[in-house]
Amino acid sequence: MDLPNPIPINEIKAARRRLAGKIAETPLVFLEQTELPFEIYLKLENLQPIGSFKLRGAGNAMESAGAARLQSGVYTGSAGNMAQGVAWYARKLGIPCHVIVPEQAPQTKLDAIKRFGATYQKLPFDDWWQVLVQRGLPGVEGTFIHPVSDPLVMAGNGTAGLEIIEKLPDVDAIIVPYGGGGLSSGIASAVKTLKPDTKVYAAEVDTAAPFKASLEAGEPVNIDYNPSFVDGIGSGGLLPEMWPLVSTLLDGSLVTTIPEVADALRAIMVGTRTIAEGAGATSLASAKQLTGVKKVVCVVSGGNIDAEKLAAVLSGKLP
């Protein structure tokens, strides 16, 4: 699949018009901290109605599809957050929704899928990943909403970039958690068009950092994937169609450790009184790797974490 590089700014602005009044324009919050020699702002996508940015992309894709295409319902492949975005919007539109999830999807996210009226099925991680690669699963009814490499999904994600630039036009760098690249490339498409000098970095965790490894190799490569409580990002490789986009749009990958993510999650909780999931905290965890900047935005991509994992992190332990 050939993707535009970057996602056109007019498509991102059109997505914003479609989503106006239907999703939250999330706040950009200054984080009080003394450890780093620059200002940090948090883009709190964990305050979306489903606790994740995924509502932006899911909503834009489904609002754009039209009633005829959605008549038989929709389905997606997701570890949880895109599932909730598609399920939430399907309920809003009054259509059925089915979700294919990897076996290790957190119970919190599975419960939310059911709460929004959708059904789900579990697959082993490698089989689940193939659903994304093949862009669907034979035998499943409905329109497939790809969680990553759909231009409409990425345009919806890019609306977060518009909001950042409008609220903090002199931002030097933006750090975005990297799962499949749909959020980071959507935000980077908007930012690089409006403010080309602003750097946009991917945030990965060292137990699953295929983008960093691919950048170092100069081409997409596979890595060993080690599951952790940072379940919303990371995989064993890149979607091939995303490589031309992310390798040119993004300014690098900042890889952090599991203990650093736990520290960042606690800092977000203390600093904003909001909950971040592991993936959402990777952006703040990796911010200390930056130099020569004055203002940095860390995108907190989601806040859907199992209660027992959150309790462990807040008590100083690793789930």
Q: Is the pTM of this model over 0.85?
A: yes
Which of 86, 121, 144 corresponds to the end of one domain?
144
Is 240 within the bounds of a domain? yes
Structure confidence by residue, pLDDT tens digits, 138-159:
999 999 999 999 999 999 999 9
What is the structure's pLDDT at 1?
A: 67
Helix axes 278-286, 258-272, angle to 10 degrees: 100
Secondary structure percentages of the chain, helix, strand, coil, to 5: 45, 15, 40
Q: Is the pLDDT of residue 8 over 70?
A: yes
* Residue 294 neighbours by CB under 8 Å, 6+ apart: 38, 39, 170, 172
- Please tell me whether residue 120 adopts helix, strand or coil conformation: strand
For residue 106, what are the domain limits? Answer: 55-144
Last residue within a domain, chosen from 144, 167, 182: 144
In which order are the strands placed within the sheet that holds 143-144? 119-123, 97-102, 74-77, 143-144
Instruction: Tell me the average pLDDT across 24-44.
Output: 96
Please name the residue that has the structure tokens 């960093």.
Answer: 212
Q: Average pLDDT of 228-232?
A: 88
Confidence tier at 34 by pLDDT (50, 70, 90):
confident
What letter would DSSP give residue 52?
Answer: B
Cis amide bond preceding 6, omega within 30? yes
Residue 298 inside a domain? The answer is yes
Backbone angles phi, psi at 299, to 5 degrees: -85, 115
Give the percent of the chain with pLDDT over 90: 84
Q: For residue range 80-131, list pLDDT tens digits in order.
A: 789 999 999 999 999 999 999 988 888 888 888 999 999 999 999 889 989 9
Same domain, 16 and 113: no
pLDDT bin (cut points 50, 70, 90) of residue 4 is confident
**Are residues 245 and 105 both part of a single domain?**
no
Q: Are 99 and 232 members of one domain?
A: no
Overall number of domains in the chain: 2
- Looking at the predicted structure, is the pLDDT value of residue 44 above 90? yes
Q: Is the pLDDT of residue 137 over 70?
A: yes
Supply the CATH number for residue 75's domain: 3.40.50.1100
What sections of 66-181 are H helices per DSSP?
A: 67-70, 81-93, 107-115, 125-134, 151-167
Q: Which pLDDT belongs to residue 129?
A: 87
